[in-house]
Structure 1
Amino acid sequence: MRIILVTGPGGAGRTTVASATALAEAKAGRRVLLVSAEADPALGGGHLRIRRPDPAADFRREFLDLQARSATALDLLGAAPLEDAELTELPGSHQFALLRALRDAAAGDRDLVVVDMPPLLDALAVLALPEQLRRYLRRLLPAERQAARALRPMLAQLAGVPMPAQWLYETTGRWEAELAAVQAVVDAPDTTVRLVVEPGPAALDALRTARLGLALHGLALDTVVANRLLPADSPDPWFAALTAQQHRHLDRLRTAYDGAVHALPHLGRDLRGPEDLALLAVDEKPAPAPAPEWTVEDRRDEDGIFVWHLPLPGAVKDELSLVRRGDELLLAVGPFRRNVPLPPVLRRCTVSGAGLVDGDLRLRFTPDPGLWPKTS
């Protein structure tokens, strides 16, 4: 199953491009699911299905389930349970509803899933969320502590403090499984991102932000869509100058990005239905681009070190921050942060230097003599 995540700056036409992509693929005979909160429901039919995430219903269902699982603890505290009718969604519900919709869509029988994502920075934050939350769960409730379930009553008596209840571990395990399923969809090689921009002054910044954020999390950008390109044959001088400016920005996009850049026309009017969407379909269907690979180069024979290569296109040295903490690397680049587990071979090494060369972050590691086996 192929999954295309469509994002871009606010107002660039993400929903339009996502809808046009889904409709064109469905007309070509593929079974397509469009996940979008804003797409026209009338587009559904034939090979095309539309799913609209429902954050309010999703939040109520999850909250009531958690309340039911923790009923015993809440009763001991004298808490009054909340009812469905009085629940309103909290901030962040949209992100979780979208992730669950993505997970459920990937488990279906479609050939292609097109997801209308939030604006660029929000979309990158949503895609990073499963990994971040799984890390928090592992730190707060390590799995190895669950092995002592039978000892908890005795430990509680000895320590004089209550031990975490069984429901807490069960709930954590369920969340871990759900987050792992979502992360598997996001990390799948057939999941790619499509960036929609308008060919203007902000387009290059959006491209750099997208490439940097996606590379940091190991995701692939398959296509850049330059939307609402004005026709180039107008006799009006003002209009012609505006068109020329757009084409200059389009040329810069093509120079800056070595992948596919597709230009879609400005229709000069509001969309009037499927007929207009058919004019905005991307004519080529690029194969999923491989995600940037983080590789470890063994240079012990040459200079006694390992080099960890982290491709971060568009990264700037002044915006980089690197901190090693245990077996993790705390990496900040521009507006993005990620806690990256070190490859096993590097955990027995010390960091001996770093450099950024043409978007390739190179971290040098020296084997720690106290942790490496002696060789004769």
Structure 2
Amino acid sequence: NVDDELISHSPIEQSLTNLKQLHHLIRDQHPTIVKALDSITLQLNIIKETLYEHIVKQLHICIEKVYKYMYNKDQTQLIISVKQIIDQLKELIFDAVNGQYDQFLISQDYYNEMNLIDREYINYIKIQFNQDFNNDKLFHNNNDDDNDNDDDENQSLLLLIETIEKWLSLFEKRIERVLPREFLLNNLKCSYLFSFTSQITNELDIPGELNVPPETQFYFRINRFLSHIQRVKKNNQYYRRLKIRSHNGKLFYYLLSNDYRSKYLNIDEISATTTTIKQQQLQNRSSLLNYMNTFADDRHLNYSQEQLLQFLRIVNPYLLKQKETLRRQTQMYIPRLLTYLPSLRLIEDNYVSKTLIDIYNESNST
């Protein structure tokens, strides 16, 4: 959390000024490429998860925290962190009940239909959700070490897991029932993505191509975006699967991860927002810093994952030099990944590859 006084300090203003000048310099030298990148980022940010999907993602985070605490005892602030997430979900549901239905926006035609379907249902969710999670037994104080207290703690954790799993099941069934599995780009007001071709500019690489090792003999550039988008669920989170055709005809699948609270701010708007904040002297927090702090955890997680992928890229050449791994042709698949905004990422989705979680789930099902 950064106070308003820090905004008026010269380093922040100087950094924004330098960044703005750099942006204008690049835009003057490559106007078509910069305009295309800005338009693509802006329209990709329109494709967001819905409120239902966001709640499912947050509930999975809660239940993961509970399991980690039960098995590892490594989270001293378990109840506080889980309760904070639940309180945030209550606020989001309350906002939806009060008429902020833009979270459900999937297409303009579908918007009116969902408005009628979910108006009563979301009101029911608000009442029942508050009743289930207002139970004091769910958030038992675990500071003491008595045996009786330990038993109460275990019972409260089990009750918390049951409550979370109940709501996970309800929301997932609602998503499958209400939200479409496929929709079109032109129905999402993404006309630029729908009409983009390499004739506009053929200098845009496939997302994440820059991180591919330089000894690779092939390179891929964006030819066009296919019109169909799919809704998929992987690793306890809902994504939008995009299809991108490269200049040589190869088809790439990308999972788009975007928090529904996100918004797009270009460098000019950030500079204007900072100037307005300095003039008005808002109390304690600025709207810009609030927005940035909202996704602080997301940025930290994104950076850690990208650092891990970079490490695996270093390990892969080492595996090729080892006798056993070379004989077994053992290598780790490293997807292309690109972060456009703190909450917006494109992750390559390869149908051939399998994660360890997928293998584990398949073995359990059989």
TM-score normalised by the shorter chain: which range applies? under 0.3
Q: Name the structure with the higher strand share.
A: 1
Higher relative contact order (CA 8 A, sep 6+): 2
The TM-score with structure 2 as length reference comes to: 0.20
Q: Name the structure with the higher helix share.
A: 2
